[in-house]
């Protein structure tokens, strides 16, 4: 739980904030009057008189939203910025900020949980498989470290911008085609030399070995939905998806064809959310030229001691900390809901998502074997 503090209001400053962003009273509310709203339903009407707007990835921030408003600062408490029209913001002198890396630990750990659950359902152990990682930034590099910590020996990485910067150990995209598992950790880019929009296409899928597991916790539109659905239903491969091409109105046939399906919550740990709030808050204070409230939002969190005692399998600890099976079951209920109600149900799963901690928020029981304790601590458990 967060520690409550006295909130000092400055009504002259109106700040509009997505209702799903935590830690607002301890940060932004010290500098103005906060108005919370549904980020997906946000419109110019909500921004009347506002000077600052704080959003998540569900809100497209562009001319259509901001033209004619008084907004001078836009912050997104997410690692991605593809929902911000940055050229337009900069052209109109609007300061913007994001939170790169804020939930990278959460997303990487959840990715590991998705692969772990997929392995159980498909009958394989991660340590006996070859892994390909597409994108080696904040999340992809952490996934790499987690896999190494588990003892995975064969890992290939594709990241063309890093290769251009002189990292010779990286592979070409074609070299990952023979990997058993391929995990995507890329931003959504539709222009330039290395676009990722629609990367998982008919041509890409046809080059993969039969039985490949694709894992995507990055951006839904990295995959071409119809192509992936056809590939899965033909029995050529498998998928574990946390992000979907047409969120929140996702393709039920694609959902039903996946091995693991979750509702865009990989980065939804409390640690990551609070870190994102704090990072954007500091940029907000820099813009205002004021001293930020110095409370560390993560300092009031306590370590969870509810892992099974003793931990008898590392997989069990991973799937306790990252409840992928629970989230998968919740999303699959979508198939039994009327088509018009599905987008709201998908959004509700995210809005009402139960509190989840990063691995660092979990205590390894003292009676766990030395071998398991060492592995879990290498993965980041406390």
Distance CA 178, CA 356 (A): 34
For the chain, the C-alpha Rg in angstroms (whole number) is 21
Q: Measure CA 71 to chain center.
A: 27
- Looking up tokens 């008898």 gives 312
Q: Residue 135 — left, alpha, or beta (φ > 0 → left; ψ -120 to 50 → alpha)?
A: left
- Active-site residue identified among 31, 185, 264, 372: 264
Distance CA 372, CA 317 (A): 10
- Active-site residue identified among 219, 229, 356, 357: 219
Q: Which helix (H) or strand (E) holds 260?
A: strand 260-261
Residue 40: strand, helix, or coil: helix
Per the annotation, the verdict on 219 as an active-site residue is: yes
Distance CA 364, CA 361 (A): 10
Per the annotation, the verdict on 247 as an active-site residue is: yes
Structure tokens of 123?
């009958």
Angle, nearest 10°, between helix axes 370-379 and 314-321? 40
Residue 157: strand, helix, or coil: strand
Per the annotation, the verdict on 264 as an active-site residue is: yes
- Looking up tokens 């990997």 gives 179
- Active-site residue identified among 142, 185, 247, 275: 247
Q: Which neighbouring-strand residues pair with 212?
A: 237
Give the end-to-end CA distance of the chain in Å, rounded to a whole number: 18
Contacts of 154 (CB under 8 A, 6+ apart): 129, 130, 131, 179
Structure tokens of 308?
């099974």
The neighbour count for residue 172, using CB atoms within 10 Å, is 11
The 73-76 sheet, strands edge to edge: 33-37, 14-18, 52-55, 73-76, 95-97
Answer whether the bond into residue 248 is a cis peptide, omega within 30°: yes
Residues marked as catalytic: 219, 247, 264
């Amino acid at each position: 739980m967060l520690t409550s503090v006295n909130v000092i209001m400055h009504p002259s400053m109106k700040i509009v904030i997505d209702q799903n962003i935590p830690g607002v009273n301890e940060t932004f509310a010290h500098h103005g009057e906060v108005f919370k709203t549904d980020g997906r339903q946000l419109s110019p009407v909500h921004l009347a008189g506002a000077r600052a707007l704080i959003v998540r990835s569900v809100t497209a921030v562009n001319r259509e939203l901001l033209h004619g408003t008084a907004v001078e600062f836009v912050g997104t408490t997410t690692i991605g910025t593809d929902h911000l029209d940055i050229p337009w913001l900069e052209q109109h002198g609007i300061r913007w900020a994001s939170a790169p890396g804020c939930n990278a630990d959460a997303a990487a750990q959840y990715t590991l949980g998705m692969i772990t659950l997929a392995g159980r359902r498909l009958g394989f152990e991660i340590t006996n498989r070859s892994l390909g990682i597409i994108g080696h930034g904040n999340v992809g590099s952490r996934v790499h470290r987690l896999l190494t910590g588990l003892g995975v020996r064969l890992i290939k990485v594709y990241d063309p911008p890093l290769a251009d910067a002189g990292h010779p150990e990286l592979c070409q995209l074609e070299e990952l085609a023979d990997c058993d598992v391929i995990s995507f950790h890329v931003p959504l880019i539709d222009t330039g030399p290395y676009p990722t929009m629609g990367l998982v296409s008919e041509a890409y899928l046809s080059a993969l070995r039969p039985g490949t597991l694709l894992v995507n916790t990055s951006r839904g539109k990295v995959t071409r939905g119809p192509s992936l659905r056809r590939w899965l239903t033909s029995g050529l491969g498998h998928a574990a998806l946390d992000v979907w091409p047409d969120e929140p109105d996702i393709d039920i046939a694609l959902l039903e064809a996946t091995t693991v399906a979750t509702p865009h919550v990989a980065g939804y740990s409390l640690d990551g959310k609070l870190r994102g709030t704090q990072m954007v808050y500091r940029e907000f204070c820099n813009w205002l030229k004021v001293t930020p409230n110095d409370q560390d939002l993560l300092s009031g969190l306590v370590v969870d001691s509810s892992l099974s005692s003793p931990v008898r399998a590392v997989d069990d600890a991973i799937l306790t900390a990252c409840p992928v099976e629970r989230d998968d079951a919740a999303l699959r209920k979508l198939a039994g809901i009327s088509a018009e109600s599905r987008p709201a149900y998908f959004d509700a799963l995210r809005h009402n998502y139960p509190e989840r901690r990063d691995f660092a928020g979990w205590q390894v029981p003292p009676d766990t074997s030395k071998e398991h304790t060492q592995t879990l601590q290498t993965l980041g458990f406390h």
